[in-house]
Amino acid sequence: MKFSLTWLKDHLETEASVAELAAAMNRIGLEVEGIEDPAEKLAGFTVAKVLTAAKHPDADKLQVLTVDTGAGDPLQVVCGAPNARSGMKGVLGQPGAVVPSNGMELRKSAIRGVESNGMMCSVRELELGDEHDGIIELPDDAPVGESFASYHGTSPVFDVAITPNRPDCMGVHGIARDLAAAGMGTLKPIAMPPFEEAGACPVEIRTDDPEGCPAFYGRVITGVRNGPSPDWLQQRLQSAGQRPISLLVDLTNYLMLAYGRPAHAYDLAKLNGAVTARRAKDGEQVLALNEKTYTLNSEMTVIADDNGVHDIAGIMGGENSGCSDSTTDVLLEIAYFDPHRIGQTGRKLGLSSDARTRFERGVDPAFLDDGLDLLTGLIAELAGGAATQKVRAGTPPAEARSVSFDPALTQRLGGVDVASDEQQRILESLGFAVDASAVPWAVTAPLRRHDVEGPADLVEEVVRIYGIDDIASVALPRAEGVAVPTASSEQKQERRVRRAAAGRGLNEAVTWSFLPVPEAEHFADGHKLWALDNPISEDMKAMRPSMIPGLLMAAKRNVDRGAGALRLFEIGRRYFRNDDGSSNEKPTVGVVLAGEKTPRGWASGKAVHFDAFDAKAEAMALLAEAGAPADKLQVMGEAGGQFHPGQSGTLRLGPKNVLARFGALHPKTLEAFDIEVPVVAVEIFLDAIPGKKGAASFARSNYSPPALQSVMRDFAFLVPAQLPAGDLQRMVKGADKANIVDARIFDVFAGQGVPEGKKSVAIEVTLQPADKSYKEEDLKAISDKVVAAAAKLGAELRG
């Protein structure tokens, strides 16, 4: 909400500076988001008098002016405005000034060969209105040489964020009330312009929807003169970001912005019959003031006459009954609408307005009479006319909430000791009625304070006005000793994996937990999806059953923007729906490698893409960091239909416990996600990794290297072609656990010299002596064990 300092001072008697007022508003919960001083835009513009005006020697539509600026010799200025003439006073922008409307810096220049020392300005150029047919004409008493900002009376503008629970501050008067309570000045009473009522209202006004519109007040004013608003009114509306339209419309906006009370003025000549607040009919339409047509339903409240709907109640008026310059008779309407109904209608129609913002939060139901009389008096004063008697249809909410309040509660809840008489003063200055003779106090909230429901709300009011800065900062008690680590084992595991993935050159991605349904179903693997009934959008309807689709969508966005290689990982949760309807969340790591592993070059030739072995390497490394026994993992197939059947696999502990799946994605998967580069992926199921035995009591000991040097022995076996090399590696490593500390595959070969249906697997075995070096017979005995173990898998030592 925006308003000028001048407007604030219409309601608050104060000598406080702009900075002091801003600090006070922030202190009492009215956050100042910005302060703009229009005078800064008008720096360099002064009141000037045109001494002479002569035709330009080389242009028919230009004049050469001599202008008195009140400071030294007159200046020569070239001007194209048709109203420029000798003797008039206007606004001169001198060299160095910046024109607010276009940001152009004025300089001394030659126009058609004639020197010009600035520019005489129009209303639009100074952003003071829309007029641009001529330059500004100031009154004869305008002081030549005075800064135009000072003469015009520009005032700093506050931009204040009002929280939804404070509709009473959606008007300048409400903000002034809070500032006065905080000691920043004295609240001025509302000045009610006088007017006389002349006869009964000629229009029947009623409410046929007491739930949506409990109260509907109105009266007719005849013989008004509509037209432009006076300068003071236009200035206040412009400070609030409103565009002045006409006097009648501007006054209704003024009432809303000054007092938080929306109102509406209808051109009486465009109405027919009774004006009624009622439910709309299904399919009924209205052309609103924003020139859009809205289709209504029976859950919406409207203002209508015998011809049809003229107003979407509490949100926006209709185009067909709006006031124009030819309007002479008006019907004023001030009503109280149900906040829930207003919000529901606005969301259904996708229609926002200043009026909706206020009605949806809840306007003051006690301000209907005064609001209508105030608007009537302003119209009578500025536009003339005769007002009829007031019509009251329905009854607004009138039951004030009373709260039992113990002043000692402020100390207990707010942490600040405020004297009882000061608490009473604060509450009464905010409009609360306080009966301090009762024990506890009986405090009655004004009807405009819908947010006050109990004693804690009154404590908040006292503390924010007294000063939150006055609450002492008290440190929380801390027990002696060493703090117990708060991170769980699962969190520590995820941190280790995250660091390891980043260390391996992977980039962490954070994707949505929601997916489009088709992409989610592609990775559901028969599980029941969690789907939202009311998603933000259809692209975020299903909760992800896998980490891979979100990473694939991220990869596509990057590939489409020219990324040649992508190495992405994410740690998050997969979501499933159990048969009993409960949620099932699984901690998971997803990895996607897309595009070129090695770009083309003079040495490598063609680019090399990621393959299944790259995916397996990432899976093994991250599993080891997560605490999985990597040396005991078995490689099996069945990675899932999303993966290429010949270029994928799973890593398991036993036949049923799947710790990860990896490999190249199936071409149909890439087609489903519209990705045109090869992609390999990894999915690690952290919940499937078994915990270490005795992990709770495990203590890290200092590393002590063995005293004796290790021994390496190489073995080459012929094995069936279908035998996974990893199975042979595990069998060899377990042949003699006392001596064999590692077994590493360093070659796999099939082809010339190898029988058909066979392959050659070469393994490097590391032997570690304990207390004495190996003798030849010791090495032979260990080798025999290795060969015997391999033979159990059908392997034979290659000659």
Residue 460, annotated ligand binder?
yes
* Residues 6 or more apart whose Cβ sits within 8 Å of residue 671: none
Rounded distance, CA 77 to CA 119, Å? 6
Residue 451, annotated ligand binder?
yes
Contact 430, 181 (CB under 8 A): yes
* Cis amide prior to 57 (ω within 30 degrees): no
Rounded distance, CA 522 to CA 666, Å? 12
Rounded distance, CA 335 to CA 372, Å? 10
- What kind and span of H or E run contains 726? helix 725-733
* Residues 6 or more apart whose Cβ sits within 8 Å of residue 485: none
* Buried b / exposed e along 113-138 (16+ C-beta atoms within 10 A): ebebbbbbbbbbbbebbeeeebbbbb
- To 10 degrees, the CA torsion angle through 211, 212, 215, 219? -140
- Other CB atoms within 10 Å distance of the CB of residue 467: 15
Contact 198, 386 (CB under 8 A): yes
Contact 222, 386 (CB under 8 A): yes
The backbone region for 55, taken as left when phi is positive above 0, alpha when psi lies in -120 to 50, beta otherwise, is beta
β 89-93/114-116 pair status = unpaired
Q: Which residues make beta-bridge pairs with 206?
A: 276
Contact 244, 401 (CB under 8 A): no
Backbone angles phi, psi at 647, to 5 degrees: -135, 40
DSSP 3-state percent helix, strand, coil across the chain (nearest 5): 30, 30, 45
Angle between helices 172-181 and 420-429 (to 10 degrees): 170
- Other CB atoms within 10 Å distance of the CB of residue 492: 12
Which amino acid, one-letter code, is at 159?
Answer: D
Compute CA distances 500 → 570, 590, 686, whole Å: 12, 13, 15
Residue 299, annotated ligand binder?
no
Rounded distance, CA 711 to CA 632, Å? 23
> Comparing C-alpha atoms, which of 143, 418, 375, 99 is closest to residue 256?
375
Tokens of 518: 């088709």
> Comparing C-alpha atoms, which of 660, 642, 784, 649 is closest to residue 725?
649
Residue 579, annotated ligand binder?
no
DSSP-derived secondary structure for 624-640: HHHT--GGG-EEES---
Q: Which residues make beta-bridge pairs with 555?
A: none
Rounded distance, CA 394 to CA 768, Å? 97
Q: Is the sign of the CA dihedral 64, 68, 69, 73 positive or negative?
A: positive
Tokens of 454: 């109990």
Compute CA distances 642 → 648, 668, 767, whole Å: 10, 8, 42
Contact 18, 26 (CB under 8 A): no
Contact 105, 71 (CB under 8 A): no
Rounded distance, CA 59 to CA 61, Å? 6
First-to-last alpha carbon distance for the chain, in angstroms, is: 89
Annotated binding site: 451, 457, 460-461
Annotated binding site for Mg(2+): 451, 457, 460-461
